[in-house]
Amino acid sequence: MAGRASGFMSEFKTFIARGNVMDMAVGVIIGGAFSSITNSLINDIVMPVLGVFTSSVSFADLSVSVGPAVIAYGNFIQAVFNFLIMAFVVFCLVKALNSFHKKKEAAPPPPPPGPSAEEQLLTEIRDLLKSR
């Protein structure tokens, strides 16, 4: 039983040490921080501007009563709006990164270096020996 546990832990360590898992962990952490920035953008900048046109600061306040039930459809609209803004920002970031990588790949390779002084001297010696 102890052999199975140590084999499992060894396999788990190998899984965690892979680059993909570490990249994913960094992505999740940065995504969480990015989410708070995007939420602030939506709640503090975009929604007040939209509130001027809709006479409401937030969609979350929108609801309708159907008998005793209250359907808060504004929360759903707010969540969809948050998603669309976040998806748009991520799309713009990915597009910018892709164009950056294309420019980096499209750069022409540097010209091959010319012969060194030693190679030039050896070439001259070879040519002199051929001419004799």
CATH code assigned at 41: 1.10.1200.120
| Residue 62 belongs to some domain of the structure | yes
Q: What is the pLDDT of residues 4-34, one digit of tens each?
A: 677 888 887 777 777 677 777 778 888 888 7
Q: Could you give the maximum distance between any two Cα atoms of the chain, in Å?
A: 112
Tell me which residue range forms the domain holding 20.
2-106
Taking only Cα atoms into account, the Rg of the chain, rounded to an integer number of angstroms, comes to 31
| Residue 81 belongs to some domain of the structure | yes
Residues 6+ apart with CB under 8 A from 51: 57, 58
Residue 96 has pLDDT above 70, yes or no: yes
The span from the first CA to the last CA of the chain, in angstroms, equals 84
Look at the chain and report how many structural domains it folds into: 1
Instruction: Tell me the whole-structure pTM to 2 decimals.
Output: 0.46
